[in-house]
Chain A
C-alpha cells in the first residue's frame, strides 16, 4: 500500500496565521487585565526598579528602590519625592557636586528622600570599593576619592542619606546613564518627574535646585 500523501496546499501559512491570531488574543486579554507599564528614566515613565546593597552609615543592608514608592499617591497629596543621584566616587564633577547635594538635602529632606547610586565608570584610575563609597559619603579619611584625593576633603558635609553599591553597574543600562553625575527626580509613586536629559520639557536652564523648587516646592 502506498504511503499516505500530504495535502496539495501548504498548510504552514495557515498554521502561522492561526498562531499569530491565538497569541494576539492572549496578548489582548493580558492588556485588558493589566496594561503594560512603561518603565524607563524618561519623564512620565515608571523609574526602573532595582535591588542592591545600601550603606546608611551603620552598615550595609538590603535596599529596593520600589519600597520607597507610594503607589496610592495623587498629585498634591502627601508623600516623599525621591531624588536618585548617580555618581562615581572618582569623578571630579561628582566630587564638586557633594556640596550642592548637602545643601539640597538640608533644604528638602522633609519632602524628598535622597538616594545616591555609586557606579564605577570604565575609565582608567576609576577604581572604587565599598570602603571608598563609605568614606565618600561619611567624609572620612580614605585615599582614593577623585582618583587620588582624600575623601575627607570632599566639598560639603557628611551625607546622611543612603548610598547604593552599584559598582558593577547593573542598573546603569536600565537608567540609560549618560555619565556621572546624573540625577532624576521621582514623584512619590515612582514616576519620573524630572530628567535633566530632557531640557526641552523644562524651563530654560533649569537644574536640580530649580526642579525641586518647581515640582516639590510648587513655585
Chain B
C-alpha cells in the first residue's frame, strides 16, 4: 500500500511524540515532566485523529461499499477490517467512536496536568492516566487478534488502526514515566 498523506501525518505525529518522550527522559525536574506530558498529549491527539479517520472510513464503506481513504486489497488494508460487519463495532458502536471517546479521556487527563502541574489532584491524575491506558490494552490486543485471524481473508493489517494502537501504547509509556517521576520525587 502506498503511503498516503494522512498516514504520513499520523506517523510523523507518532515520531514527534516519541522524540519528545526520549528528550523528556534525559531532562530533570519540571522541564522533563512538562516534555513528558507534551509527549503524551501528542500521542493522544494522534489517537484522536486516527480514530476519527477510521470512523470516516467506516462511514464511507457503509455508504458506497468502498473507500478512497484506505486500500481494500492486499495484506495492509482497511476494507476487510473496518468493513467487516461482524467485527467493526463494539456492541453496535463503531471502533472509531470508541477510540475517539477513549482518547478524549486520555487527552483530558494530560491536558489538565499540563495546565496545572502542581495541583493537589496531579498525583491522582497520573494514576488515572496510567489506569486508563492500561484499560485500553486488552482492547488493542483483541483488535490485533481480530485483524490477524478473524476478519474476512485474514490476516490483514489496518494501518490507521495500527496508528491508534501505537498511540495508546505510547501514551501508556508516558503515563508510566510520569507516575514514576511523581513517586520518585522528580516531578519538579
Does chain B have a CB within 8 A of A71?
Answer: yes
Contact A50 B85 (CB under 8 A): yes
| Contact pattern, B 111-128, Cβ under 8 Å of A = 1, otherwise 0 | 110011111111000000
Please count how many residues in chain A sit with their CB below 8 Å of the partner chain's CB atoms. Answer: 40
Closest to A36 in B: B59
With A51-B85, A51-B152 known as contacts, the answer to whether A27 contacts B63 (CB < 8 A) is no
Mark contacts of B72-112 with chain A using CB atoms, 8 A cut-off: 1 yes-contact digit, 0 otherwise. 00000000000011100000100010001000100110011
Number of A-B contacts (CB under 8 A): 98
Check: B48 CB closer than 8 A to any chain A CB. yes
Within the complex, the shortest CB–CB distance from B64 to chain A, in Å, comes to 5
Give A147-165 interface residues, CB cut-off 8 Å to B: none
Chain B residues in the interface with A (C-beta under 8 A)? 30, 45, 48-49, 52-53, 55-60, 62-65, 67, 69, 84-86, 92, 96, 100, 104, 107-108, 111-112, 115-122, 152, 188
Jot down 5 A-B pairs with beta carbons below 8 A, ordered by A: A3-B118, A15-B108, A15-B112, A65-B85, A66-B85
Q: What 16 new A-B contacts, CB under 8 Å, besides A20-B104, A27-B52, A30-B96? A: A3-B118, A7-B118, A11-B112, A18-B111, A19-B107, A19-B111, A23-B100, A26-B49, A30-B52, A37-B62, A49-B85, A50-B85, A50-B86, A51-B85, A64-B152, A71-B64
